Structure 1
Amino acid sequence: MDPVSHLLRLAKVTATLDRRCLLGAATRMDVGERQFLEAQFHVLLEGECQLLVSDMVVDMKPGDFVLIPGGAAHRVITPGKYPEVPTAEVEEESFITTQSADGGSPVIDLFCGHYAFDPGAGAVLFRTLPDPVHVSFGDSVETDTMLRTLSELMRSEAGNRGPGTSVILSAFSTVLLAMVLRSARGSATGEALWTASSDPRIAEVVQAVLEEPGNDWSISRLAQLAAMSRATFLRHFTRETGMTVGVFLARSRVMAAAEILSSTGDTVATVAGLVGYGRSPRSLASSGRKSVCLPPSSGVIRFDERGISAASGPSEVIGARQPVSITSQPSPYRQPASGSLGVRLRLRLPRPSWGLALPRAPGGQAAST
């Protein structure tokens, strides 16, 4: 299985197309912070606009896709002297249509949605992406034709609003994410996405590690696989992926461990052996802490010998001191290894620097997209 398909399977990503924005000139649309384990995306099919997130300004043109892995609040503004026109919404069965409140003729056609992902492997994947990710599909010959076809399909289905529209638009949105994750640095993006490499030798190494994270992957062995000297391999790998070999190995193994722990009754000691840590839960825990680092106030995923524990419920309070446990039940056919250690593996998850947004309580105001 290719790396992008493998990662999307591990991350258990689900896509939702939330709204279609047909905004007139000088319009401002504020987009709220997403819930825990969710990331917004925007794809511009027509016109030009700016996206303001944190202290960054992203200029968008037709064919541009922006992903905000941390789910931070942001603002979209359309060209005009004073971008202060608010928006008005019409809620329909499949998605919301957002327009300028003054009824101005649309100058942009912007599709907006979000991805939800698994609290283990999914959280590691999205945490390790640049924030934001900006890909200009229209600037690449390889992706321009595909995007044009996909855009027409999305517009046609959005206008149709027939049975299955939500599912079809969700599938198109997943296609967009796959296109992003396989976008190597070049004309489409200046980002170094570790999920894609323009060097086939480095891509082969990434795929080999993702497929067999438990192998004894020394730097010498990986360099031999890439047919490079050790020094050349280290230099090329960091340039192509934006991270060191050690960090990549740790993150790949933590993602694999999260998948196994959340879907089986295996102990951490057993899983540590499967992903390359020699049945050492302490080494696996240490790797988790080092591979995904955020301030102590971030949300926490906890692994112990019973399985995986994750903050999840809409009424739960999420925090480093009081993680909410949703523990996978051990298999009735497997008994914990005698003498196994109960070690917590804390995966520090992606949150904006200004704090953690808690999921809304039932009946509360939902986060906008």
Structure 2
Amino acid sequence: MPEPAVNETTDWLSRLLEFAPVRGRLDLRCVFGAPWRIEQPHADSGEMPYHVVLAGSATLEDPENGSSIRLKAGDILVFPKGASHVLHDGSGASPAPTREREAASIVVSENTGAGARLDMLCGHFVVTAAHERLLRNHLPERLIGRSSGADEETSRQLKGLATLMRAITDTETLGAHAMLDALSTALFTVALRLASESRDPSPGLLSLAGSPRLAPALEAIFRDPARAWTLPELAQLCTMSRATFVRLFREKLGASASDLLTDIRMTMAANELRKPSAHVAAVAGIVGYQSEAAFQRAFKKHMGVTPTHWRKLSGHHGHGEDPAT
């Protein structure tokens, strides 16, 4: 059966999350009074911790340069590569003791601090190893989405999601856990949108998306990754020379257009090979390879196993699980 046609209006971010779906999980709600401190170790493979400040403020220690970053109400912090991190109230005082209690729909972490109040949602996003490669290869170590600096619509959406999640954690609502996880999943998309609007995003997809000159190439690659794109074609879409395109693309993404295209194609292939009726030769064609042998080599180099082995392993795992884990 032929693949359904791609909607020409589908944007790159929607396509990214179609290729590499992410599920959200809300873990707990932190309600602290200063002084407080959170030390979170490196996340497990396939997990990306996040924090949403509902009220008050928090200070993130930046291990790269020893500085600190202040987070305010309406900000969301995500660690796409699962990095360990420390959040605190900024006072430098020893943190007050904490305790956890079961609330209506969530675990609440509280302390005995009497200072400035913090209300924050903490959770993580989950992605399989096959999908994780595409996201971790092209997202920064840390991304911060600030609702105060975003366009009005994006800011309104983040505030709306956070307000609804807080309201659900306050009451015993039928289906609360399912609702919180679904809203948590939506947070990932909003976080990427907010971070892409940053004035100085780190090299990666968000920096690339924030470049008006290169955006046409990004949209084209995600809209039709199976096409045999050439550098002159992509450069022409961006109305620049081939040399300028290559230089600017790598500068913004931190990788070449070919690297990005291969990552997308291999993620697509891994998804296709999960289907019981999938044949390697057909999958090769679907993701843009004229030669099955070339596809076999590229897939093994990228995924660590042959397409046939991947397909066999996929048959022993449930839907959404990764045979490489």
Structure 1 residue runs of 5 or longer lacking an equivalent are 291-299, 310-325, 330-346, 350-358, 360-369
Q: Residue 304 of structure 1 corresponds to which residue in structure 2?
A: 307
RMSD: 3.0
- Cα distance, 1:129 vs structure 2: 1.0
Query: How far does the alpha carbon of each residue in 1:117-154 deviate from its partner, in whole angstroms, 9 at most, with x for none?
Result: 13212432234211112222222243333333333222
CA shift in 2, pair 1:26/1:174, >3 Å: same
- Cα distance, 1:76 vs structure 2: 2.1
Query: How far does the alpha carbon of each residue in 1:161-218 deviate from its partner, in whole angstroms, 9 at most, with x for none?
Result: 3112222222222222112223465446633441561344533322222232221111
Q: Residue 107 of structure 1 corresponds to which residue in structure 2?
A: 117
SS in 2 for 1:51: strand
Please, what TM-score do these two structures have when normalized by structure 2? 0.81
Q: Residue 233 of structure 1 corresponds to which residue in structure 2?
A: 245
SS in 1 for 2:221: helix
Q: Residue 140 of structure 1 is aligned with which of 133, 143, 150? A: 150
SS in 1 for 2:13: helix
CA shift in 2, pair 1:96/1:123, >3 Å: farther
Q: Residue 74 of structure 1 corresponds to which residue in structure 2?
A: 85
Q: Residue 182 of structure 2 corresponds to which residue in structure 1?
A: 171
| Counterpart amino acid of residue 238 in structure 1 | R
Q: Residue 28 of structure 1 is aligned with which of 31, 37, 42? A: 37
SS in 1 for 2:288: coil
Q: Residue 72 of structure 2 is aligned with which of 61, 69, 79? A: 61
- Cα distance, 1:25 vs structure 2: 0.5
- Cα distance, 1:112 vs structure 2: 0.7
CA shift in 2, pair 1:93/1:145, >3 Å: closer
| Counterpart amino acid of residue 11 in structure 2 | D
| Counterpart amino acid of residue 141 in structure 2 | D
Task: Please state if 1:5 is matched with 2:14.
Answer: yes
- Cα distance, 1:305 vs structure 2: 1.4
CA shift in 2, pair 1:243/1:13, >3 Å: same
CA shift in 2, pair 1:282/1:144, >3 Å: same
Taking the aligned partners of 1:114 and 1:187, their CA distance within structure 2 comes to 22
| Counterpart amino acid of residue 237 in structure 2 | L
| Counterpart amino acid of residue 149 in structure 1 | G
Please, what TM-score do these two structures have when normalized by structure 1? 0.72
CA shift in 2, pair 1:237/1:199, >3 Å: same
Task: Please state if 1:49 is matched with 2:52.
Answer: no
Taking the aligned partners of 1:231 and 1:88, their CA distance within structure 2 comes to 58
| Counterpart amino acid of residue 6 in structure 1 | R
Taking the aligned partners of 1:274 and 1:223, their CA distance within structure 2 comes to 24
8 Å contact from structure 2 (residues 138, 253) kept in 1: no
- Cα distance, 1:265 vs structure 2: 4.3
Taking the aligned partners of 1:189 and 1:44, their CA distance within structure 2 comes to 22
8 Å contact from structure 1 (residues 183, 189) kept in 2: no
Query: How far does the alpha carbon of each residue in 1:88-118 deviate from its partner, in whole angstroms, 9 at most, with x for none?
Result: 1113453211111x25366211111111113
Taking the aligned partners of 1:192 and 1:3, their CA distance within structure 2 comes to 17
Structure 2 residue runs of 5 or longer lacking an equivalent are 1-9, 317-321
8 Å contact from structure 2 (residues 35, 115) kept in 1: no
Give the structure with the larger helix fraction.
Answer: 2
Query: How many residues were matched structurally?
Result: 306
8 Å contact from structure 1 (residues 44, 110) kept in 2: yes
After superposing the two structures, state which structure 1 stretch, 82-91 or 273-282, moved more: 273-282
8 Å contact from structure 1 (residues 301, 308) kept in 2: no
- Cα distance, 1:274 vs structure 2: 2.7
Task: Please state if 1:244 is matched with 2:256.
Answer: yes
